[in-house]
Amino acid sequence: MKFNNLAFNDTAENKLRTPWLIFAATTLGACIVNIDVTIVNVALPFIAKHYTANVGKVQWIISSYVLATCILLPICGRLSDIYTKRFIYLLGFAIFTFGSALCGFATSLTMLILFRLVQGVGAAMIMSNNQALIVMNFPQNLQGRALSVNSMSASFGAIAGPAFGGFLLSILSWRSIFYINIPIGIIGCVVGYYVLPRNEKRLDHPLDIIGAIFFAAFISCVLFLFEQFGSGYWVNVKNLILLTIAVVAGWLFTSRQKEITHPLINLSLFKVATYLRGNIAAFIVFMAMGGNGVLLPFYLNDVLQLAPGVIGMLMFVGPCTMLVLAPLSGYLTDRFPQKIFVAVGLLLFAAGLIFQGSAGAHSSIRHVVIGQIIIGSGFAFFQPPNNVTLFKNFTTTNFGLVSSINALVRNMGRVFGVVIAVSVFTLLFTHMFSLYSLQQHTQQQHNIAFLQGFSVAYYCLAAFVLGALYVQLSKTKKIRGC
């Protein structure tokens, strides 16, 4: 199988729809759906109080959105190759906006969880196509810059979600975090309708329904297992059943994809060494981002005992660094070999994690700021060139699938990163407390135990990133059949 680079389609119609207008429409989608991944976090206590529900029940408001998104990403990617990326993207924006309105009007917790599933369906349609639309409509010498800002906007949205949600909750009710999506969604639909190109080639292949069912079962069980591991309940009958179903469904899915003529996920894509390595690196980087995002606020609150407003400002340092450096990273990506900047980004990222993990009970705010700047810089220099390498070996007929797999890898990386970070932290934190007497613990003892788990968790994440760097620097072996 041979994949060719895309040549820029400079038709009269595309001249009217300039690449940067297409970029604006897709980046708006990338930002809003990633904000909704995390914006609900700060509203959970208010929603729980409103519906008199416990934490376990309201947690499904987040889990349902992530579950729907991860299950549907490759399915939506394949549908976009069949029915055009423009159609699936606009339909996704409409469904996401409608789902947001339904969430705002929900009269019970069950309804809210179901409507979050609707939001997740729309989010999957948007995520699976926003990068593909950029690569399809930008000349090769501008793809790096466009993808860099698009990726940074998505990451900024995910990290800025809690701060934005906190601001809305300070002046309005929890329903406002859903209502705010309605005007933005309408704008996205209107802009996308007029600027997204209509001259796409369609892939005349049927959708693999049976494969989609196997994939849904596999992803569902894996995500439920991640959630159980993050809660500290590792070995029990429920987890063994989930693990068994996940293994069987995963085996059935991969076996079917190798046998049928038109698979849901063409596994031969992963025979392209640069694509496989790029996805491994992306998974690990987003895993580290997820771990950093969940551990740092607890350090700032429990150890440094900072005010919520200060914590919010410090959590913005990394995303702001990404946004500032994204244009530079994209510019360099368009002019120099991407592998150089992928390696530099991973090295900086690992260094930032190690530096942040070295923070102590008496570290200054400056230590946190420097750590987040280094982490943000590493991410900014890694993501754009890695995105370019993920697309450059494929034709437009595979862009929907490639884009959806990329989004799936990012989302699964975040989930897995939270599990790894929380599990390592909890294990060491509990172990350190067990070394003390059963008397009431002092703040100093708490800090010692906390920092032990905090540091080791960050060092583990850094080790994963250095492993990704090793994989990226390894020599590419020619793979037959590609």
Question: For residue 353, what pLDDT is reported?
Answer: 94
pLDDT tens track for 470-480: 888 875 444 44
Q: At what angle do helices 85-105 and 19-38 cross, to 10 degrees?
A: 30
Residue 387 has pLDDT above 90, yes or no: no
**Banded pLDDT at 6 (limits 50, 70, 90):** very low
Mean pLDDT check: name the lowest of 9-18, 154-163, 316-325.
9-18
Percent of the chain at pLDDT > 70 equals: 81
Residue 71 has pLDDT above 90, yes or no: no
Residue 15 has pLDDT above 50, yes or no: no
Question: For residue 481, what pLDDT is reported?
Answer: 39
Question: For residue 10, what pLDDT is reported?
Answer: 42
Instruction: Give CATH for domain 12-207+264-473.
Output: 1.20.1250.20
Residue 314: C-alpha distances to residues 291, 317, 318, 327, 437 (Å): 16, 5, 8, 22, 35
**Banded pLDDT at 398 (limits 50, 70, 90):** low
Residues 56-66: what's their mean pLDDT? 74
Residues 163-178: what's their mean pLDDT? 79
Percent of the chain at pLDDT > 90 equals: 12
Cβ atoms of 14 and 137 closer than 8 Å: yes
Question: For residue 4, what pLDDT is reported?
Answer: 38
Q: Say what the pTM is.
A: 0.72
Rounded to 10 degrees, the C-alpha dihedral 127/128/131/137 comes to -130
**Banded pLDDT at 142 (limits 50, 70, 90):** confident
Tokens of 406: 């990329």
**Banded pLDDT at 435 (limits 50, 70, 90):** low
More confident call, 458 vs 66: 458
Residues 425-451: what's their mean pLDDT? 68
Question: For residue 395, what pLDDT is reported?
Answer: 61
Residue 41 has pLDDT above 90, yes or no: no
Question: For residue 101, what pLDDT is reported?
Answer: 93
What gap in Å lies between CA 183 and CA 181, rounded to an integer? 6
Residues 7-13: what's their mean pLDDT? 41
Question: For residue 408, what pLDDT is reported?
Answer: 80
Question: For residue 98, what pLDDT is reported?
Answer: 93
Question: For residue 119, what pLDDT is reported?
Answer: 92
pLDDT tens track for 183-218: 888 988 888 888 887 776 766 677 778 888 898 888
Mean pLDDT check: name the lowest of 21-30, 159-168, 310-319.
159-168
281-284: long-range pairs with CB below 8 Å, 24+:
281/342, 281/346, 281/382, 281/386, 281/468, 281/471, 281/472, 282/383, 282/386, 282/390, 282/406, 282/409, 282/410, 282/413, 283/409, 283/410, 283/412, 283/413, 283/416, 284/413, 284/464, 284/465, 284/467, 284/468
Instruction: Select, from the ranges 160-164, 304-308, 461-465, the one with the highest average predicted confidence (pLDDT).
Output: 461-465
Residues 48-62: what's their mean pLDDT? 73
More confident call, 25 vs 368: 368
In one-letter notation, the amino acid at residue 141 is N
Residues 328-340: what's their mean pLDDT? 75
pLDDT tens track for 221-268: 887 777 666 555 666 788 788 889 989 998 998 888 888 877 777 777
Residue 7 has pLDDT above 60, yes or no: no
Please, what is the average pLDDT of the chain?
78
Residue 329 has pLDDT above 70, yes or no: yes
pLDDT tens track for 257-297: 888 877 777 777 777 778 888 888 889 998 898 788 778 87
Residues 6+ apart with CB under 8 A from 198: 13, 84, 86
Domains of the chain by residue range: 12-207+264-473, 208-263
**Banded pLDDT at 482 (limits 50, 70, 90):** very low
Residues 6+ apart with CB under 8 A from 113: 60, 61, 64
